[in-house]
Amino acid sequence: MRTINRKLVRDISNMWGMVFVIALMITCGAATYITFLSTLDSLKETQQSYYQDYYFANIFASLKRAPNHVAIQIREIEGVNRVETRVQSGLNLEVPGFDETVTGMIISLPDEREPILNSLYLREGRLPTPYVDNEIILGDGFAEEHGFTAGDQLKTVINGKEKKLIIVGIGLTPEFIYQGQPGSLSPDLKRFGILWMRRAPLAAAYDMEGAFNNVVLSVTREANTQDVITQLDQILEPHGGLGGIAREDQNSHFFITEELNQLSKTATIIPTIFIAVAAFLLNVVVGRLIRTQREQIGILKAFGYSNQEIGLHYLLMVSVIVIIGLIGGVILGYYLGQELSALYASYYRFPYLNFVINPWDVLAASVISAAAAYSGVFFSVKEAVTFPPAEAMRPEPPKLYHRSLLEKLGAARFLDQPTKMVLRQIGRQRVKIAFGVLGVAFAAALMIVGRMSNDSVKYLIEVDFRQSQPFDLGVSFRESISDHALMEIVRMPGVYYGEAYRGVPVRFTYEHRNHLTAIQGYPQNMKLRKILNTQEQPVEIPQAGLLLTEKLGEILNIETGDTLTVEFLDGSRRTTGIKVTGFINQFIGLNGYMNIEELSKLLPERHVVNGAYLLVNKSYEDEITKELTDSPFVGEIISKQKIIDRFYESTAQTWLIMSLFISLFAGATAFSVVYNNARISLSERSRELASLRVLGFTRGEISYILLGELAVLVLLAIPIGFLLGWALTWFIVWSMQTELYRIPMNISRATYTLAAVIVIFSALLSGLFVRRKLNRLDLIGVLKTRE
């Protein structure tokens, strides 16, 4: 081995602490990058192949009832590829030992074949025997939550009649990757089950023999989905069609797509921030590392090593660090990517996970890290070699210090010598300290960014749910019923107060843009459900006109005062124009709101309602729920408290993992920066400190001189980190808003505290390591040679 390479090996093993922390920075940056991007790629790839292999439909439509021959008409629509008619219905399920209301959906399977759209993936068991009326396939999420397996029995209420069903198989389809009750904020695998039964027995149970009430279609590549839907709607209109829904608006697909959009933004922004911060720090740290070798560069030059040879030497040194860091990053990223994808894949229901790691992502992470490190080398080596070697090798002239500001202000009398040294050191090295401060501040900022989803969603729940929705129970009716029903409900024991609303499905059209959603008609002075304007202040529903969620206004590109074309999809099929009178702030969902009386005037039936909000005595809540569930009119009951609880329950794990993961990275970054600063200060000042030891200073005193500087650095960094974190969060919120979610900007006090604690803890830890090094300071060795 050439001696210069031996020097390389030795330098690396002598500085292993610094090598380790620099490599750790690269590992963190690259691992975050690879984790998120591989998760995103894997989920997208899995979704794609699942959709393709299991023939996920393009159009979905529900209707009252149509005879089977209508399917022939549908098949003749131009651009239609496959058509599958079905019978489906909601139903109640009973799970022994699980008291809460469990609802589900039962869907028909063709009698003598497998479905040609939304095919079943059988996890276990077999398909139900044709024409047998008590065999079903159970959705795998629900089965997993409750421990059902093939062979078990399931009690159900089908069309009002209790019925015991035998589970012959466990399966899933691309139609229900996201499973949840309408109105819930998160997938709910426990309280919502999907069942598949053969067509003939199911049709018999619902009086649907020779007919269907649901149809799914796939279209050819060239087809215009919107045109197909228009024609489909015309065909189904006489049969009580509720309007075709394109894949984009299908519940599961919509949620999944939103989640993937969200993730793809997270997966670009967060790792980019992480790797950018890592790159910045890497550059600074590598630069400082090389500056400590200034004298050695001088020696090599004096003996005729060329600038290129010296540059190559340090390039090689940093390459070793970069490679160690990248290997760590790729392995960790690969591992965490799998874990994170698996977490998502179980939260949603995918039959399998195609874990893909895109070589380009690995390459990109490597190139960014390497480029950052090499630019650090380049500039510092360049600086070192342009410095005349004679000067590089001269013992550094005593550095020029100044009295610190504090001393100038007259505090000198109160300061001891070591404190003066700390202050003067800081005064002299303003740039270095500034970079150190920035580095630690970035670590704190990363921590804040990492906890962002946690904070924002919590805020969303507290504001959107607790404050704007003071109700306890929300009840929706199976059909529009007379508004007398409300009075009966309010008479139930434990119910304090109730307010009814009317919801109508509509299609909004403005210019060429349209959107399928609903108008909620609320009574004047509604108390149980508040609507907040864009300034988050409660607003009253206006006497006339329509309020839209802000985001819907953006989608339709409509402004206050414009008239929106509203097509009611309730069967009346009326179309009218309604003036938009304002916008409101709602984080989830895109609805229109108007006065219930005004709304009723536009519809054929006047005094009907679709649901009610109730204020109840908490101790009666379960009883009331039970009683309402048994009522034939009641469709769904939502309990605000339960929705919140379930949401926290289902997301707690994800948050915990994410939080942990990001805290770890932020902590590692803080540790790296502080350790590096301390180590380099130590190597720059070891003579000075050793001299002090020789003069009789204790270890504690010299530690104070060295670490005091770091303490000031960390304390300065924390508030700056808060500011940076706030700014980054703002940037992410701004760039991440999607159709479904508008994340509120909120950083909790707990997050600030945690960020500060993590930074301080990491700093203390690195201080401890340096202190250990300081304790072993070889006095004579240091004074005899010069590093």
Partner 1 sequence: MPSLESNVPIFSAKGLTKVYQMGEVQVQALRGIDLEIFSNEIVVLLGASGSGKSTLVNILGGLDTASGGRVTYRDIELTHASEKELTNFRRLSVGFVFQFYNLIPSLTARENVAIVTEIAENPMTPEEALTLVDLGDRMDHFPAQLSGGEQQRIAIARAVAKNPDVLLCDEPTGALDSKTGIVVLKALQKVNQSLGTATVLITHNVVIGGMADRIINLHDGRISNIERNEKKISPDQMTW
Ligand X SMILES: Nc1ncnc2c1ncn2[C@@H]1O[C@H](COP(=O)(O)OP(=O)(O)OP(=O)(O)O)[C@@H](O)[C@H]1O
Interacting residues toward partner 1 by CB under 8 A: 2-4, 6-7, 10-11, 14, 295-296, 298-307, 309, 388-391, 393-395, 400, 778, 781, 784-787
If the CB atoms of residues 133 and 295 are measured against partner 1, the closer one turns out to be 295
Q: Which of 391, 511, 536, 778 binds ligand X (CB under 6 A)?
A: 391
Give the x-and-dash track for 13-32 against ligand X (CB under 6 A): --------------------
**Cα 170 to chain centroid, rounded:** 29
Select from partner 1, ligand X, none the partner in contact with residue 387, using the beta carbon and a kind-dependent cut-off of 5 to 8 Å.
none
Nearer to ligand X, 399 or 408 (CB): 399
Shortest distance, CB of residue 390 to partner 1, whole angstroms? 4
**Binding-site partner at residue 778 among ligand X, partner 1, none, CB < 5 to 8 Å by type:** partner 1
Report the DSSP beta bridge partners of residue 86.
214
Nearer to ligand X among residue 6 and residue 394 (C-beta): 394
| Strand ranges in 511-666 using DSSP code E only, listed in sequence order | 513-522, 531-533, 538-539, 546-549, 563-568, 575-585, 592-595, 608-616, 634-639
Distance CA 494, CA 555 (A): 42
Cβ atoms 386, 288 nearer than 8 A:
no
**What is the nearest approach in angstroms of partner 1 to the Cβ of residue 408?**
19
**In this structure, what DSSP letter does residue 186 have?**
S
Nearest approach, Cβ of 5 to partner 1 (angstroms)? 10
Q: What's the min distance (Å) between Cβ of 393 and ligand X? A: 11
Which stretch of DSSP H or E encloses residue 255?
Answer: helix 251-291
Residue 157 contact among partner 1, ligand X, none, beta carbon within 5 to 8 Å by kind: none
Is beta strand 192-198 parallel, antiparallel or unpaired with respect to 80-86?
A: unpaired
Site string (252-291) toward ligand X, x via CB under 6 A: ----------------------------------------
Strand partners, 594: 521
Q: Which is nearer to partner 1, 302 or 768 (CB)?
A: 302
Nearest to 501 by CA among 480, 516, 532: 480
Of the pair 288, 502, the CB lying nearest partner 1 is at: 288
Token duo for residue 36? 């998120």
Between 120 and 290, name the residue whose CB sits nearer to partner 1.
290
Residue that the structure tokens 């027995």 belong to: 201
Residue 396 interacting with ligand X (CB under 6 A): no
Q: Which is nearer to ligand X, 391 or 649 (CB)?
A: 391
Which is nearer to partner 1, 399 or 513 (by Cβ)? 399
Nearer to partner 1, 409 or 780 (CB): 780
Binding partner at 439 among partner 1, ligand X, none, C-beta below 5 to 8 Å by kind: none
Residue 295 interacts with, from partner 1, ligand X, none (CB under 5-8 Å by kind): partner 1
CB neighbour class for 671 (10 Å; exposed up to 12, middle 13-18, buried from 19): buried
Nearer to ligand X among residue 395 and residue 410 (C-beta): 395
Q: What stretches of 570-703 adopt beta strand conformation (E)?
A: 575-585, 592-595, 608-616, 634-639
Which CB sits closer to partner 1, 395 or 696?
395
Least distance between partner 1 and beta carbon 389 (Å): 5
The three-state secondary structure class of 2 is: coil
Report the nearest approach of ligand X to the CB of residue 390 (Å).
8
Helix, strand, coil shares of the chain, percent, nearest 5, are: 55, 20, 25
Residue 784 burial by Cβ neighbours in a 10 Å radius (0-12, 13-18, 19+): exposed
Rounded Cα distance between 65 and 551, Å, is 35
Query: Judged by CB, which is closer to partner 1: 2, or 491?
Result: 2
- Residue 117 · residue 216 · CB < 8 Å: yes
Residues 6+ apart with CB under 8 A from 464: 586, 587, 588
Rounded distance between C-alpha atoms, residue 102 and residue 193, angstroms = 8
CB of 392 vs ligand X, minimal distance in Å = 10
Minimum Å distance from CB 395 to ligand X?
10
Which of ligand X, partner 1, none interacts with 559 (beta carbon under 5 to 8 A by kind)?
A: none
Q: Find, among 262, 333, 317, the residue nearest to 37 by Cα.
A: 333
Going by C-beta distance under 8 Å and a sequence separation of 6 or more, which residues neighbour residue 256?
A: 47, 177, 178, 348
Residue nearer to partner 1 on the CB measure, 277 or 310: 310
Least distance to partner 1, CB of residue 440, Å: 30
- CB of 679 vs partner 1, minimal distance in Å: 16
Q: How many residues bind ligand X (CB under 6 A)?
A: 2
Rounded Cα–Cα distance for residues 196 and 153 (Å): 14
Closer to ligand X by Cβ: residue 390 or 757 = 390
Q: Which is nearer to ligand X, 180 or 298 (CB)?
A: 298
Residue 23, binding choice from ligand X, partner 1, none, Cβ under 5 to 8 Å by partner class: none
Q: Which residue is nearest to ligand X (CB)?
A: 391
CB of 394 or CB of 527, closer to ligand X: 394
Alpha-carbon distance 48 to 451, whole Å? 30
Three-state DSSP state, 472 = coil
| Smallest gap from residue 388 Cβ to ligand X (A) | 9
Can you tell me the distance from the alpha carbon of 707 to that of 673, in angstroms, rounded to the nearest whole number? 14
Cα(215)–Cα(458) distance, rounded to whole angstroms? Answer: 39
Q: Which DSSP state fits 47?
A: H
3 state SS of 478: strand
| DSSP symbols for 499-519 | EEEEEEEEEEEETTEEEEEEE
Cα–Cα dist 787/23, whole Å: 23
Distance CA(407)–CA(435), nearest Å, equals 24
Q: From the list ligand X, partner 1, none, which binds 430 (C-beta under 5 to 8 Å, kind-based)?
A: none
Contacts of 700 (CB under 8 A, 6+ apart): none
Nearest distance in Å: CB 287, ligand X: 22
The least distance separating partner 1 from the CB of residue 425, rounded to whole angstroms, comes to 19
303 binds, among ligand X, partner 1, none (CB under 5 to 8 A by kind): partner 1
**Cβ 421 to ligand X, closest distance in Å?**
24
Nearest-angstrom CA–CA distance, 667 and 706: 22
Query: Which does residue 694 touch among partner 1, ligand X, none (CB within 5 to 8 A, set by kind)?
Result: none
User: Closest CB to partner 1 among 7 and 239?
Assistant: 7
Q: What is the distance between the alpha carbons of residues 77 and 219, in angstroms, rounded to a whole number?
A: 10
CA dist., res. 105 & res. 718, Å (int): 52
Structure-token pair, residue 749: 């006090």
What does 305 interact with, of ligand X, partner 1, none (CB < 5 to 8 A by kind)?
A: partner 1
- What does 7 bind: ligand X, partner 1, none (CB cut-off 5 to 8 Å by kind)? partner 1
For residue 7, the minimal CB distance to partner 1 (Å) is 6
Q: Cα 711 to chain center, whole Å?
A: 35
4 binds, among partner 1, ligand X, none (CB under 5 to 8 A by kind): partner 1
| Residue 10 contact, options ligand X, partner 1, none, Cβ 5-8 Å cut-off depending on partner type | partner 1
Give the footprint of ligand X on residues 21-80 (CB under 6 A).
none
Closest distance of CB 393 from partner 1, Å: 5
* Closest to 22 in 3D by CA, of 282, 258, 224, 365: 282
Shortest approach of partner 1 to residue 777 CB, angstroms?
12
- In the list partner 1, ligand X, none, the entry touching 296 (Cβ below 5 to 8 angstroms by class) is partner 1
Contacts to ligand X by CB under 6 A = 391, 394
